[in-house]
Chains A and B, each alone.
Chain A
């Protein structure tokens, strides 16, 4: 199966310049950090997404994001794509991001849609974790 150009580009950028592409981790116990880990090694995909948030007006804004992903090229590209969408968004806006947005942005083939679903799950889990600390 050939990958879409966008997946290859995203994957390679993430691989070759991890720091520029928000690869990393924070201490998950920090109060301004929300961590979402989804997937399972048995399925071949694990994503860990961390959002750094700060209160702003009536909401909370995602000021920075870090992630690490174990999985196929599409899974890695999907998390990396999600990160680009998240920075600067309020939690409400972030919740509105759908897997379709990621799949469309990367031209994911049907067999790789689960990668974008996993990415969507990771943001929900991360927000849940952050809000549980408030």
Chain B
């Protein structure tokens, strides 16, 4: 089944009186990978966090605008647990729980009421999906903190996938990794296209160009982040419609 599209309509994120990003609109096609690029501090991560409502737990943070999953408006929903089952998230720093490898996957499953007998099967499925199964099947009960950084990040992706989401938000998933691990994780992300709708923040323009179907460029204007261009990957890199995009993608700004 094709995953739903993800659409943001006029999303604004405020911290107290300070706007982090204003009137951001973008659409990620179902099963596509969109790269969210732009200089530091232009509100990319705030925008990402507003989608699965990580912003709820930040004191003084207000979000307005609409988020749609397919045709359903999910930003109006009160229950963030269901939302976060549908929209998984992966962070910049690999952050597996200080539990065993298998418990990193069993724990969220048990929290979401998946029957005990199904948990190990789903855990294996998730580990296979991220290509980690063969590497760790002999030490599932050892601490996840003993894995390499790249393996930890793949475990974190598996942990997000184990809840069977439709959308995955990735906040610079490769930037804390060495080049070799980074390449493995990048290939993994490409392999997820089609089965999941993916929105990835990255500072690596070459990576965005390599793997993204579409690109959204964020920028600081008048002290506040905004979306200056959101379009197909080739369009943005080869025929940018906005002078900021052109300069940024040519390495002249940002």
Do they bind each other?
A: no
